[in-house]
Amino acid sequence: MLEVGGILSWIHEALSSACPEWLTLLIEYVLIGVGFLALYALIALILILLERKICAYYQCRLGPMRAGFWGLLQPLADMFKILMKEIIPLLKNDKFLFFTALFLVIMGSLCTFGALEFSKDLIGIDFNVGVFYVLAISSLGVLGILLAGWSSNNKYTMIGAMRAGAQLVSYELSSGLSLLAIVILGGTMQLSGLIEAQSELWFLFQSPFTWIAMVIYLIAGHAETNRGPFDLPEAESELTAGYHIEYSGITFGLFYVGEYVNMFTIAGIGTMVFLGGWQPLHIPGADAFNEIMNMIPTWLWFFAKAFALVMLSLWVRWSFPRLRIDQLLHLEWKILMPISLLNMLLMALWVAYF
């Protein structure tokens, strides 16, 4: 009754009874696009408020309190402020690349966001090679960041972009390898198929090696979102703002939003491959318990798990100091990568013998 899937099929039936097929499809595509963009913006706003409040509590402060009750309207106020700000044009930069970079970053973030399955039957992009799609499209952001740093014609953005390039390309390896370990366990690359495979038991409880994969994925994913302790590309105290120094107004705002939603996307993919996505918590054998869990709507399960991972990311973000670039690469290439390769091998053995 609380499922979104029912509403969607009702809309589909209503539309197809009133319009020809091509028009139904067209209207539905537009609706889905608008819906995704709205959700994208909404999640960004929620995350911005959440982060400001959470970090304030870590730091013994109250955070925003003035706009609306308990500061609830603060992200809206921020949004309107940033929309109205002037976009300061630069004199000697490559304008085409400067704005293409922004487009690439947002596109990468939005397309990855589309691959999330928010509840039962609610998935935007569901390829049979979904995991590859996610890995491929999310790396579009690196290109955007590199271009942003290069085209700004500024020494700080340049250093920031180079750091980002080194960091993101490296960490994509271990996040990809840990996802592949799960692909071995689930036996499919389709994201909805992976979730289906967890209907009895979440992957996390199916094999001990999933734990290793999950820890590595969370570390690498956290690094891919450029957030502390891995925020070197924008290291505020070193490079002032890294690759997006020269962006102003909403052009900066889009980088900002992209970063926040990426955090959610990483948490969402983590939820889908390790924590069962929208699947309720099931214990094999305990049928009464499973029935109760099934009564909770699936979208609530998904968002609860994803936000729990987001909270973990915020916790890390506000507790640790920043790594140095050599330590960062050392962590990836000498620690995480060998472990995830080994883990993939062990997972294959586990799947073959158990």
Min dist. Cβ of residue 61 to other proteins (A) = 7
Q: Out of 55, 77, 293, 348, point to the residue binding other proteins (CB under 8 A).
A: 55
Q: Out of 196, 200, 236, 287, point to the residue binding other proteins (CB under 8 A).
A: 236
CB 108 within 8 A of CB 138: yes
Question: Would you give the end-to-end CA distance of the chain in angstroms?
Answer: 38
The two most distant CA atoms of the chain are separated, in Å, by 68
Min dist. Cβ of residue 234 to other proteins (A) = 11
Q: Retrieve residue 222's tokens.
A: 């956290």
Q: Which is nearer to other proteins, 160 or 277 (CB)?
A: 160
Phi/psi zone of residue 327: left (φ > 0), alpha (ψ -120 to 50 degrees), beta? alpha
231 sits near other proteins (criterion: CB under 8 A)? yes
Contact range with other proteins by CB under 8 A, out of 88-96, 203-211, 224-232, 250-258: 224-232
Closest by CA to 116, choosing from 100, 138, 90, 141, is 138
Q: Which is nearer to other proteins, 229 or 249 (CB)?
A: 229
**Binding map of other proteins across residues 15-54, x = CB under 8 A, - = no contact:** ----------------------------------------
CB 137 within 8 A of CB 145: no
- Number of residues near other proteins (by CB under 8 A): 29
Q: Out of 191, 235, 275, 309, point to the residue binding other proteins (CB under 8 A).
A: 235
Min dist. Cβ of residue 68 to other proteins (A) = 24
Q: Out of 20, 21, 22, 60, point to the residue binding other proteins (CB under 8 A).
A: 60
Contact range with other proteins by CB under 8 A, out of 59-67, 80-88, 177-185, 206-214: 59-67
In Å, how far from its chain's centre is CA 12?
A: 29
Pure H helices in 73-198: 74-84, 95-114, 130-138, 140-151, 155-186, 191-196
Q: Out of 14, 37, 240, 308, point to the residue binding other proteins (CB under 8 A).
A: 240
Angle between helices 74-84 and 249-274 (to 10 degrees): 140
237 sits near other proteins (criterion: CB under 8 A)? yes
Contact range with other proteins by CB under 8 A, out of 117-125, 201-209, 212-220, 229-237: 229-237
**Binding map of other proteins across residues 154-173, x = CB under 8 A, - = no contact:** -xx--x---x----------
H or E element that contains 38: helix 21-58
Q: Retrieve residue 181's tokens.
A: 């370990």
188-207 in b/e form (b: 16+ CB < 10 A) is ebbbbebbebbeeebbbbbb
12 sits near other proteins (criterion: CB under 8 A)? no
Closest by CA to 147, choosing from 243, 68, 73, is 243
Q: Which residue in this structure is represented by tokens 């390769």?
A: 341
- Which is it for the CA torsion 158, 162, 167, 173, positive or negative? positive
323 sits near other proteins (criterion: CB under 8 A)? yes
Would you tell me which residues interact with other proteins (CB under 8 A)?
Answer: 55, 58-61, 155-156, 159, 163, 228-229, 231-232, 235-240, 318-327
